[in-house]
Chain A
Amino acid sequence: MSFVSRNQKGTNGTYTFSSRPRPVENRSKYREKQTEKAEKAHSTYGNIMYDRRVIRGNTYAQRFLSTMVQEDLAEMQRQQELRRRAIAQKNKTKEQLRSSTPEAVQGRKHNVVQTELYLEELSYNIELSHIECQTDPLLDRPATPLFIPAKSGKDVATQIEDGELFDFDREVQPLLEVLIGKTIEQSLLEVMEEEELACLRAQQRAFQELRNAELAEVQRLQEQERRHREEKERRIAQQREALRMEKETVEKIAARAYTQQYLADLVPTVFQSLRIHGFFYDPVEKDIETNFFPWLMAEVNSKLEKRNAARQLLDTLIHDVAQKKLPLYTNLETRPEK
């Protein structure tokens, strides 16, 4: 809100003033203290019509500011008196100020006289004349005649003949077509939709039936397959079992035969080997072998040893002698050569 008021000196020296219209602030009824005034932050703007400085309503009979609302009766009378006195005084002063004719000379009296051309009798009595009038009480009031305004302008008449305006049958055709067409179209759409849905349902049903039947078939075949397979497996297992038993039997027989054959030779071999190892012996022979012969051999051995020892001694003796005689003989051998 900018308070723009411009006072300008015009181009030819005239004074102009213009200001933007601005709202009037609300003034409180009573004067505020200085501190409060300074603190007034937001001033409210009031209606200009309620401002004390603006005169509302009819100003023709306005002679004083009518701001007093509640007043005492006495108060009002007193004020009226005051006003009257003021006015009277004003009038008096006005009269005094007005210049009047000078006073009459002594012995003469001023008199008011008419000086116009035609004299008038001035009096306060008003001429009255009485005239009476009375309606006849029994006379009926006649009906007011119909007010027909005077004819003005030209009379013009018109008449619509047959076929001039429009032909209903022809005009209504497109309307009807559209109305009925649209309705039928809409209903057809709905019916078709329902039919479509019904068709879809029927198709779904048929499909489901087929599917169920085929599913049952599949299940049956599956079951059959399963049964067959199980049967087959059982049979195969049985067969395998039989084969295994047979094989086992054959092996058993073979093993038996072989064992028999092997063991046939067993007893003589055992005896043979025992005999070889000397388990069956002649006790005398054994005794001779174990006791006699070692002693014999030992005796023989010792005898021989003795002989041997003696011979060895002799040998050594001979050797020693020979040794001692060796240098002699060698000396002998060399001397003769000389």
Chain B
Amino acid sequence: MFTPVARQRLPGEQLKTIRTKADRVTSLTPRRRSRRTVAPPDRRTLDISEMTGVHIDPSRAPVAFGRLAIPELFAQLVEPDAARRLRALASLCDLTHDPERLYQVVSEGFLDQLEVLLKDGDAAVRTRTCELLHLVTSHNIARQALLSSPLLARLSQLLDDPSPLCRTRAHRVMNSLALLPAGAKALQALVPKLMLKLQEEQEEKEEEVQALLLSTLSCCSRLDAAPALSHRGVTLIGRKLSHACSNIRREAAGAMMALSVIVIAMSQVCEAAVLPVLADLLRDQDVDVQANAAGAIMNTVVITTGKHQCLELDVLPVLLELLSQRKPDVEEEQRRKALVLYSLRALTSLAEAPEGRRRLLLQLPLLVGRSEPPEEDADIRRAARTAVNVVTWTP
């Protein structure tokens, strides 16, 4: 390691001043932005900030220091120039990753100002605002604030936005809101509109939007499935079950599962011939799709028609096969837990039909095997025991 040594000035030598581009640039407080102070060319000393060079990102507005950052940026959001607003929004998006800033945003009530921006004429501004809202929903206080503000109505209008990116972002925000029970309750009013969107989306090929839409619908339907049902939910979602993208299949199966908790839905599912599609999905590649399909079946076979249809479709062997598979990897087992659980419940319901019982009596060892201690998971054991009980029940 060297230590700096001051060299005596030789006669005739002058101190050379290092002039960089930094000399010509100002310090970055927005207040002084209008007046550029140029460093005099014969300065003998340099500031640290000038030595390190200035990294200006042209797509981001400069950020003030400390607690003034957020208010300053929000003040810039009302400027008439759209480019400036975009830059301010970009900086805001960066800042809100920090929970402290986010708290500041929410507690000082800046969220309502975003409402004006959502009506903005420029599509890029709207998209950025949606992104900001999405970042904001990762925290609980922000979610609560969002739910109680009029932003929700504005967001629902954005679902019809001409720009596809904006629509995607708005859907993302809705989705992250719907994961909260209070959010799902607030979004109940929007379910008819979402069903309409689902119908429309069949013409477009927006996969992410469809997946998000279905996910939101399933969250809302878990709370109360009636609105979705009354708007022909079963038919619309049933059509999505055979989509090419596995995300959409998974979400559609999940939505179907959430819907089929109501008895009316069960009968609708049986009538609409959705069960064969679900049975096909049981043989899908993706574990989640299989799990959701098994869940939907498990809900539907509670009624007698469902039972008979499933037995006709020969779903029993498939379910048993799913049950007998054991993956060596613990992680995989965890992921398959849902699948196993749902299959067991489906088998329990099927065992109530005499035909099912007869067939399952032959397969009893398999079920007993799942209910014994070699099985780690207590829930699976319990479910298996119930299944065994039902199968061996005699009047």
Binding site for B on A (CB under 8 A): 146, 148, 157-160, 162-163, 165-169, 190, 193, 197, 204-205, 208-210, 212-213, 215-217, 219-220, 222-224, 227
Across chains A and B, which 8 residue pairs bring their CB atoms closest together, nearest first?
Answer: A209-B338, A216-B345, A213-B341, A219-B302, A216-B298, A223-B302, A220-B349, A220-B302
Q: B12 an interface residue at 8 Å Cβ cutoff?
A: yes
A224-B352 contact, Cβ under 8 Å, with A216-B299, A217-B345: yes
For the complex, give the distance between the alpha carbons of A159 and B5 in Å.
Answer: 8
Q: B379 an interface residue at 8 Å Cβ cutoff?
A: yes
A209-B6 contact, Cβ under 8 Å, with A204-B179, A219-B299: no
Q: Is the CB of A209 within 8 A of B341?
A: yes
Contact partners of A205 in chain B: CB under 8 A: 338
Contact partners of A219 in chain B: CB under 8 A: 261, 299, 302
Residue of B nearest to A210 (CB): B379
Q: B244 an interface residue at 8 Å Cβ cutoff?
A: no
Instruction: Annotate B341-353 by CB proximity to A: 1 below 8 A, 0 otherwise.
Output: 1101110110010
Q: Give the contacting residue for B345; candidates A190, A197, A220; CB below 8 A.
A: A220
Residue of A nearest to B99 (CB): A193
Contact partners of B12 in chain A: CB under 8 A: 146
Q: Is the CB of B257 within 8 A of A220?
A: no
A209-B345 contact, Cβ under 8 Å, with A169-B1, A216-B298: no
Would you mind naming 8 contact pairs between A and B with Cβ atoms under 8 Å apart? A148-B11, A209-B342, A212-B295, A213-B379, A213-B383, A216-B342, A217-B345, A220-B345
Q: Is the CB of B3 within 8 A of A216?
A: no
Q: Give the contacting residue for A215; candidates B8, B261, B338, B348; CB below 8 A.
A: B261
A217-B386 contact, Cβ under 8 Å, with A197-B138, A210-B379, A223-B303: yes
Residue of B nearest to A168 (CB): B1
Q: Is the CB of A220 within 8 A of B348?
A: yes
A216-B349 contact, Cβ under 8 Å, with A160-B5, A163-B3, A165-B4: yes
Shortest CB-to-CB span from B350 to chain A, Å, is: 10
Q: B101 an interface residue at 8 Å Cβ cutoff?
A: no
Q: In B120-141, which residues have CB < 8 Å from any A CB? A: 138
Shortest CB-to-CB span from A296 to chain B, Å, is: 98
Residue of A nearest to B301 (CB): A220
Extra A-B contacts (4), CB below 8 Å, given A216-B345, A220-B345: A208-B222, A212-B338, A216-B298, A217-B383
Binding site for A on B (CB under 8 A): 1-6, 8, 11-12, 97, 99, 138, 179, 222, 257, 261, 291, 295, 298-299, 302-304, 337-338, 341-342, 344-346, 348-349, 352, 379, 383, 386
For the complex, give the distance between the alpha carbons of A222 and B261 in Å.
Answer: 12
- Chain B CB within 10 Å — which of A146, A165, A212 has the most? A212
For the complex, give the distance between the alpha carbons of A216 and B130 in Å.
Answer: 37
Contact partners of A217 in chain B: CB under 8 A: 345, 348, 383, 386
Residue of B nearest to A166 (CB): B3
Shortest CB-to-CB span from A290 to chain B, Å, is: 88
A216-B97 contact, Cβ under 8 Å, with A162-B3, A165-B3, A197-B138: no
Contact partners of B379 in chain A: CB under 8 A: 210, 213
Contact partners of A208 in chain B: CB under 8 A: 222
For the complex, give the distance between the alpha carbons of A223 and B267 in Å.
Answer: 13
Shortest CB-to-CB span from A145 to chain B, Å, is: 13
Q: Is the CB of A212 within 8 A of B257?
A: yes
Contact partners of B295 in chain A: CB under 8 A: 212, 216
Residue of A nearest to B138 (CB): A197
For the complex, give the distance between the alpha carbons of A209 and B291 in Å.
Answer: 9
Contact partners of A157 in chain B: CB under 8 A: 8
Contact partners of A212 in chain B: CB under 8 A: 257, 295, 298-299, 338, 342
Residue of A nearest to B337 (CB): A209
- Chain B CB within 10 Å — which of A159, A197, A220 has the most? A220
Shortest CB-to-CB span from B353 to chain A, Å, is: 11
Contact partners of A166 in chain B: CB under 8 A: 3
Shortest CB-to-CB span from A100 to chain B, Å, is: 71
For the complex, give the distance between the alpha carbons of A219 and B8 in Å.
Answer: 93
Contact partners of B304 in chain A: CB under 8 A: 227
